[in-house]
Chain A
C-alpha cells in the first residue's frame, strides 16, 4: 500500500494499491503539475472551467477551488496584500440541440448542472450557461447563472428558436457521423471561447484526461490529422484567444471516476453523441471502445499512448507568451530561470489554422497558389482574435467560394465535414465566425506563399 497505513481501495498508477486519501493526493499532485506548467495560472488570472458534468471536469473544478481557498487563507494569514489569487468561474455548453433533446429535458439538465456547481463551495461560483446554437446569434448574449433556455421576451425566444433550427439543419447536412461529432466538438470550443472572452477570463481549463487523450491520438491517426496532433494534447494550447489548459492530462479516467465516487462528488451524465451509443458508429466511439479493450489486458496502455504522442514536437502556440503573469499560482513571484527548457520549440510564428477546427495546416497540404481573391477590406488586418467575434458590420456571410474555403481547411475537415465540392449546403450554414476565420487564414496563407517565393519576386521599381 502506498501510505502503509490504510487498506488499499483502488489500484492506482496501474499497479499500486491506494487508499482514498493517497489516490486524491496522487491526482492532486498531477493536477498541480499540469496547472503550473510554464506557470500557466498566475495570481492575476481568471480561470474558466469547462464543466461537462463528468468526473474529469468535476474534479478539475474541485481541485481549483480547493487551491484557490488555500491560497486565500495563506494570503490572509500572512496579511500579504500583494499576494493575488486567481478567480474561478464555470461554463457549461448545452448541446441538446445537437442531440435532438426536447427543451424541457434540456432545462432539467441545466438545473442539475447548476445544482452540482452550487455545492462546490460555500460562496456561489459564477456559472455561465451557453449553447451550441448561440454561435448563430450575432448579438452578444447576456448570460446569467439561472438563465432559462428561452427568454420570457418573445423576440429573444424567436431568435433562439431560429438558431436552434439552424444548428439542427447544419448537422443534418453533415453526412459522415465522425464529421458530425467533430463539428459539434469544434463548435463547443467556439462557444466556450466566446464566453471566456466576453467575461474577461484569461484561461480555460478542460477536464480532458489520459484516457480521452489516448482515444484522440488513435482517432487523429485514422483521420489523417497527424500534423496537427501535438497541438491539442499539450498542457497549454494558446492558439485560441483565451489559452486552453489540460491539467488532468496525466490522470486516467478510472482514477478520476473512482475518486469522485469515494469522495461523494456529484457528477451528471449527459448523453453525447459518443456516449452510450453504437461503438461502431464513428471513429471516435470506436477508438474509445478500443482504448477500454486494450486496457483490460494492460492498464498502462492508455498512458503509454498518451506519453508517446506527447513526445511529438509541439507548436509555437503550445507555449505561453513571455509577458503572461509573472506570479506563480500560489501568488509568489515566479522565477523565470526555473522554467522548463523549451529550447526545442521554434519562436512562435503565426500558423495558418483550419477555420472549422483550428488545426494548424501543414504547408504541404496547400494546393497551388490560388488567384488572388477579392476579400473585404475589413479582413485585411483581421487577427484570429477578431475573427472570433461575430461581425456586426453587415458583411455578407458568403464571402468565399466553396473551393477557396475548402482550400484553407485541413484534410480531415475537407473529407468529413465538407466533402462535396459542388455543394455549398454545409458551408452556407456554418457560423459567420467560421467564414471570417477562413478569410483570415487565406490572407495568412497568401502572405506565407509570398514570403516563400519572395526572392523571386521583382521589386516594383525593377
Chain B
C-alpha cells in the first residue's frame, strides 16, 4: 500500500529533516486496509530517526501532535481505529511550538 506521510511543526527533525515521505507498507494478515495504529508502529520502527518520545507515547502519538488523514482530523475518523487506504495522505503536525 502506497502512502504519503507529511511531518510539520518541527516533527520533521525527528525524521531526518525530511517533511514528505512516500512509503510502501503492507497491512498485517494480508488485509487490504491499514489501521492508523498499525501505521504508527510501522513509522516508529522504520522512519523515526531519533527521540521516539517526542513523536509517540505508548502506541499513540504524543499529546500535542495532530493527525490529519486526507485533510480530515483523525478525531472525526476514530483516531487509532481510523483506516487508511491506498494513496492516502497522512499529515502529522506538532503544536508544541506556537507563536
Residues of A bordering B, CB below 8 Å: 7-11, 17, 20, 52-57, 206-209, 211-212, 253-254, 256-258, 261-262, 267, 269-272, 274-276, 288-289, 292-293, 295-296
| B12 and A269 within 8 A (CB) | yes
Contacts of B25 in A (CB 8 A): none
When C-beta atoms are compared, the residue in chain B nearest to A57 turns out to be B99
9 A-B contacts (beta carbon < 8 Å): A54-B99, A56-B99, A212-B98, A258-B66, A261-B91, A276-B94, A276-B96, A276-B97, A293-B63
**Assembled-state Cα–Cα distance A28/B99 (Å):** 17
Contacts of B63 in A (CB 8 A): 289, 292-293, 295-296
| B76 and A8 within 8 A (CB) | yes
Q: Is residue B93 contacting chain A, with contact meaning CB distance below 8 A?
A: yes
Q: Which of B9, B62, B91 contacts A269 (CB 8 A)?
A: B9
| B76 and A10 within 8 A (CB) | yes
A189 shortest CB reach to chain B, Å? 13
Q: Which of B71, B72, B91, B96 contacts A288 (CB 8 A)?
A: B96
Contacts of B52 in A (CB 8 A): none
Q: Is residue B83 contacting chain A, with contact meaning CB distance below 8 A?
A: no
| A9 and B71 within 8 A (CB) | yes
| A52 and B93 within 8 A (CB) | no
A-contacting residues, B2-28, CB 8 Å: 8-10, 12-13
B56 shortest CB reach to chain A, Å? 13
Contacts of A212 in B (CB 8 A): 98-99
**Assembled-state Cα–Cα distance A275/B97 (Å):** 5
A185 shortest CB reach to chain B, Å? 11
| A292 and B96 within 8 A (CB) | yes
Contacts of A11 in B (CB 8 A): 73, 75-76
| A275 and B96 within 8 A (CB) | yes
A-contacting residues, B48-99, CB 8 Å: 54, 62-64, 66, 68, 71-73, 75-76, 91, 93-99
Contacts of A293 in B (CB 8 A): 63
Contacts of B13 in A (CB 8 A): 269, 271, 276
Contacts of B8 in A (CB 8 A): 257, 261, 267, 269
A9-B71, A207-B99, A269-B13 provided; 12 other pairs, C-beta below 8 A?
A: A11-B75, A54-B99, A207-B98, A258-B73, A262-B71, A270-B97, A276-B10, A276-B54, A289-B63, A293-B63, A295-B64, A296-B63
B61 shortest CB reach to chain A, Å? 10
| B95 and A253 within 8 A (CB) | yes
Contacts of A256 in B (CB 8 A): 98
Q: What 10 A-B pairs are tightest by C-beta distance, nearest first? A: A292-B64, A52-B99, A275-B97, A292-B63, A54-B99, A10-B73, A253-B95, A269-B10, A11-B75, A296-B63
Contacts of B95 in A (CB 8 A): 211, 253-254, 257, 292
Contacts of A52 in B (CB 8 A): 99
| A258 and B99 within 8 A (CB) | no
B91 shortest CB reach to chain A, Å? 6
| B98 and A56 within 8 A (CB) | yes
**Assembled-state Cα–Cα distance A207/B95 (Å):** 14
A186 shortest CB reach to chain B, Å? 15
| A257 and B9 within 8 A (CB) | yes
A83 shortest CB reach to chain B, Å? 33
| B66 and A208 within 8 A (CB) | no
**Assembled-state Cα–Cα distance A112/B16 (Å):** 19
A8 shortest CB reach to chain B, Å? 6
**Assembled-state Cα–Cα distance A97/B94 (Å):** 25
Contacts of A289 in B (CB 8 A): 63-64, 96
Contacts of A54 in B (CB 8 A): 97-99
A233 shortest CB reach to chain B, Å? 15
Contacts of A206 in B (CB 8 A): 99
A242 shortest CB reach to chain B, Å? 19
Contacts of B94 in A (CB 8 A): 276
The residue in B13, B63, B71, B97 that gathers the most chain A C-beta atoms within 10 A of its C-beta is B97
When C-beta atoms are compared, the residue in chain A nearest to B97 turns out to be A275
Given A10-B76, A261-B91, A276-B54, also A254-B66 (CB < 8 A): yes
When C-beta atoms are compared, the residue in chain A nearest to B54 turns out to be A276
B20 shortest CB reach to chain A, Å? 13
**Assembled-state Cα–Cα distance A283/B58 (Å):** 24
**Assembled-state Cα–Cα distance A252/B94 (Å):** 13
When C-beta atoms are compared, the residue in chain B nearest to A256 turns out to be B98
| A257 and B93 within 8 A (CB) | yes
**Assembled-state Cα–Cα distance A134/B73 (Å):** 42
Contacts of A257 in B (CB 8 A): 8-9, 66, 93, 95
